[in-house]
Chain A
Amino acid sequence: MKKWGIAALFVILVAALVIYIDWRGRSYEIEEGDKLVVVSPHPIEFMIPLIQEFENETDITVDLKSMGTSAAIDSIVNDDNVDIMWGGSLLSVGPYIDNFYSYETPNKKDFMYTFTNENSAVTCFSDVPSVLMVNTDLIGDIDILGYKDLLNPALRGKIAFADPGRSSSSFEHLVNMLYAMGDGDPENGWDYVESFISQLDGNLLESSSVVYQGVANGKYAVGLTFEEAAVTMLKSDKHVSIVYMNEGVVMTPDGIYISKNSKRLENAKKFVDFMTSKDAQQYMASDLGRRSVRRDVESSILVVPRYKINNLPVDRNRVIANKDKWIEEFNRIRKEDDNG
């Protein structure tokens, strides 16, 4: 009897403790209507000011998740809670276009013509040329004008390149190489890719951010990256320079993609409208080094105007259709190079 009394006392005490702890807690979960879940492969520094402004203007709180392009695609396709994928080139999302919600932003009327005739599941956000980023302190008197110069034996092991299977900017470069060095037929470009891979000396990096940071921090002399990353490095006073490949530059827009399963469609549309608005595009072009898709926005003084670049046209459908095959081929050559 007495034992039961003591046991009961303890149970009551412990229960009181648990209830107390629970009672102390209160939830401040943001209401669904004020929320938006965004996944993005953009650099963090690029995203923060845009997201902050979006939040201040719309009072929608963005749950932002930074990840690589392929992870972001995986996320938006498989995670019902994700509303928007922000970034990732049209080439890389090509095969997944059926998972996106069709939305035509009112801002489209102000887009440059090249960016208007896309599928309505895709809204172009910015134009991203692939570039070479050179560390001006380390390169010495080696002239870098294009892909051909990367085969200079003095650069062996000093080239930063990310795995095209993981990083979309690396895949863009692979496509760029195949087209530029294959004289219009990408299948003719593999000889160059083979030489290029042996120049890497086994260094294949994890993600695109490692590429531009590696060059800026002096770990590598030259990196294959995208324009905005190079501009950001330039703006933060890193000793780098941007080289637009003289063999030709592939300029692929990246976009904003709304998930077909989004439960916050209104907010997602607001996000697309905001990001393609003149103010946001103007700010992005001036301060973040990214080329706008709008006609009425001027580019940063740090980048070469579009017309001065040797723009290399690619057959987007062919690229999308061959993406897996090319990455496979790249990996096969890399393995051969590793073994040999």
Chain B
Amino acid sequence: MAKEVRSFQENIRRTFIRFSIVPVAAIVMAAMILFVFSWLTFMASSNEQENKSASEEIAGKLDVYCSMVDKVAAKLKKENYDVSKNDVFRILYEDTSEYGDIGNLLIMSPSMEALFSSKDHVPVFLTQSEYSNWGVWNVISTYKGQTKVTLYSGNLCVSKGIYEGGRLQAAVVYIIPKEVMSSVISNQNRYVIITDKHGWVYTANTRGLQDEFGQIDNTISSEVGFVKLDGNLYYSYRTELKKGLIVYTVNDVNRSVHMIWAIIAIIVVIFLAIALITVKSTAISSVRYTRDIKKIEDAFEEVQKGKLDVNLDIHSSKEFQIIGDDFNEMLEGLKEQIGRNKELAENVAFSQVKQLESQFNPHFIFNTLDNIRFMARIDAVAADKMIVSLSGLLRYSIKEVREEVTVKEDLDHLQYYLNILQIRFNKRFAYSIEVQDDIMDCLIPKLLIQPLLENAVKYGFNGQEKLTVSIRGYQMQEKLIFICEDDGAGIDEELLEEIRTNLKAENNTSSHYGLYNIHRRISLMYNGDFGLDISSKKNEGTLVRITVPKRVAE
């Protein structure tokens, strides 16, 4: 899969986001989890702590009450069941004074009569005959001689039967004042429920978590830890006391869970806001931080397009400033180098052009001189004319220092060449020149048209008796076009192709230098789509066309 290459600015932006939002999010989430974790731990351990302390307190009180009942029972037995009220009260006050309520201590006869009551009130479940084997009495007779704590119809009773020889002599019953037990749990900031071992609630600081019978909820009693009840979450802990009571402490986790959710929601909202701002601001700041990069990019693009006069002006940061300055310096150097190269190239082109101009075909000179020698014998006038023409032509080719001449000038000097051809081929050669007057003053390279005539003669007479060459010159759309057309033998397809290929080459690799030289000179002198093209058909003739820019002498 090809990965798309992102821009530097995008990379910077992503880096900002990755190194700001992501770590912060991770840290916040980790912190939240740790917070919940430690909060749960704290809640659970403080719950257990308080449960234990409440249990200890209750167990301590129960111990006090039990030992008090034991003391009264022992006293009774010792004094042969004839104890004065004062003695009993003394024991009672001794042990319960710090609780603020003496409670109801009862001494019962085997026939369910109250021999003593510290509160002058005897509950029916101790006196009515139907209770003789029910409730507290049932406990007394079941656990003979033992001190037992029983929850009966909402009262927590400590009872002990005094048996002698398997017969009940008396029973001591103490009804623990509920206030004393409730005070342990009433100021707790969590739910505390005290039940007997079957789940019947003795006292609680809440009306909840119990069923309609007054029993603790099954879920709470059968599980400790985090408990779900009616869709609410609680943390519950329990301690079983030796005397048969169970102390439950229950935290309502719900409110805290709601609070945590609220906190999470707030954090999420804040976080979204931060994320939004960050994304926006990173977009802006990444643009700002990468503005210089953009400048550099633009500068390079300008240079690529060929505009070398750009200047990087950077002051934002040291690194980019150095890059900018170096770029400017480099560009200066480049410009200088290009100027130098151009000059050098011009020099080279000039010298090349000069050299090309001077390449007259030695065959031509030889043929001409041979003709002159022949003419000198039969026609002195013609020979003279040829010598004059040849010398004029040679003078023109070597003497003219200027690179460019007017069309008229070149045509004038072309006449020398035509004269020579005329004399040389006599009636076999005919020509016509049609050059429009309005281009006569235009500038063209020297000896532009002569090679065309030379070429026509070279290929046109191939087994042909007569050759007619027409030369036309005209302007078209700021270009000058010269056409040299003949009705000669034409050029072979192969040869034509070779010539065309040769024209495109930097160096001449063939002997067809007449056409090559003129084409090369044009391309060295003028930039653009100028030069020479050739077309030919066997036995029909050849057409050569030269295109040069229109330039007028100043």
Q: Assess the A17–B37 pair: CB atoms within 8 A.
A: yes
What distance in Å separates the Cβ of B511 from its nearest Cβ neighbour in chain A? 72
CA distance A55 to B214 in the complex (A): 14
A16 within 8 A of B: yes
| B residues contacting the other copy or chain, number (CB 8 A) | 43
Q: Assess the B223–A26 pair: CB atoms within 8 A.
A: yes
B42 within 8 A of A: no
Q: Which of B197, B218, B235 contacts A63 (CB 8 A)?
A: B218
* Beta-carbon nearest neighbor of B133 in chain A: A279
Q: Assess the B213–A48 pair: CB atoms within 8 A.
A: yes
B322 within 8 A of A: no
Interface flags, A279-300, vs B, CB<8A=1, else 0: 1101101110000000000000
CA distance A69 to B126 in the complex (A): 34
What distance in Å separates the Cβ of B157 from its nearest Cβ neighbour in chain A? 11
Q: Assess the A27–B222 pair: CB atoms within 8 A.
A: yes
Contacts A61-B199, A279-B133, A279-B138 given; does A28 touch B223 at CB 8 Å: yes
* Beta-carbon nearest neighbor of B221 in chain A: A28
Q: Assess the A44–B150 pair: CB atoms within 8 A.
A: no
A319 within 8 A of B: no
Q: Assess the A28–B222 pair: CB atoms within 8 A.
A: yes
Contacts A55-B198, A56-B139, A282-B130 given; does A16 touch B223 at CB 8 Å: no
CA distance A10 to B226 in the complex (A): 22
Contacts A20-B37, A66-B212, A285-B130 given; does A25 touch B200 at CB 8 Å: no
B224 within 8 A of A: yes
Q: Assess the B130–A286 pair: CB atoms within 8 A.
A: yes
CA distance A279 to B139 in the complex (A): 13
B153 within 8 A of A: yes
Q: Assess the B37–A25 pair: CB atoms within 8 A.
A: no
Task: From A13, A14, A280, name the one whose CB has the most chain B CB atoms within 10 angstroms.
Answer: A13
* Beta-carbon nearest neighbor of B139 in chain A: A56
CA distance A285 to B153 in the complex (A): 17
CA distance A253 to B120 in the complex (A): 41
B36 within 8 A of A: yes
Contacts A62-B198, A279-B138 given; does A21 touch B213 at CB 8 Å: no
Binds A, one of B25-33, B50-58, B414-422, B482-490: B25-33
Q: Which of B150, B153, B198 contacts A49 (CB 8 A)?
A: B153
B128 within 8 A of A: yes
A154 within 8 A of B: no
* Beta-carbon nearest neighbor of A50 in chain B: B134
Q: Assess the B44–A24 pair: CB atoms within 8 A.
A: yes
Q: Assess the A24–B225 pair: CB atoms within 8 A.
A: yes
Contacts A66-B212, A286-B128 given; does A10 touch B29 at CB 8 Å: yes
What distance in Å separates the Cβ of B484 from its nearest Cβ neighbour in chain A? 77
What distance in Å separates the Cβ of A236 from its nearest Cβ neighbour in chain B? 14
Q: Which of B134, B214, B218, B224 contacts A25 (CB 8 A)?
A: B224
Residues in chain B near residue A234, CB distance under 8 A: none
B 215-236 contacts with A by CB, 8 A: 215, 218, 221-227, 235
Residues in chain A near residue B160, CB distance under 8 A: none
CA distance A169 to B433 in the complex (A): 143
Q: Which of B33, B133, B138, B226 contacts A14 (CB 8 A)?
A: B33
Interface flags, A192-207, vs B, CB<8A=1, else 0: 0000000000000000
Interface flags, A20-62, vs B, CB<8A=1, else 0: 1110111111100000000000001001110111011100011
A 301-339 contacts with B by CB, 8 A: none
Q: Assess the A17–B213 pair: CB atoms within 8 A.
A: no
19 A-B pairs within 8 Å (CB atoms) are namely: A6-B22, A9-B26, A13-B34, A17-B36, A17-B37, A17-B40, A24-B225, A25-B225, A26-B224, A26-B225, A27-B223, A30-B222, A55-B200, A56-B138, A57-B138, A61-B199, A280-B134, A286-B129, A287-B130
**In the complex, given contacts A9-B30, A10-B29, A283-B131, what are 18 additional A-B residue pairs having Cβ atoms less than 8 angstroms apart?**
A13-B34, A14-B33, A17-B33, A28-B222, A28-B238, A47-B213, A49-B135, A49-B153, A53-B135, A56-B138, A57-B138, A61-B199, A66-B212, A66-B213, A278-B133, A279-B133, A283-B130, A286-B130
* B-to-A contact residues, CB < 8 Å: 22, 26, 29-30, 33-34, 36-37, 40-41, 44, 128-131, 133-135, 138-139, 142, 150-153, 197-200, 212-215, 218, 221-227, 235, 238
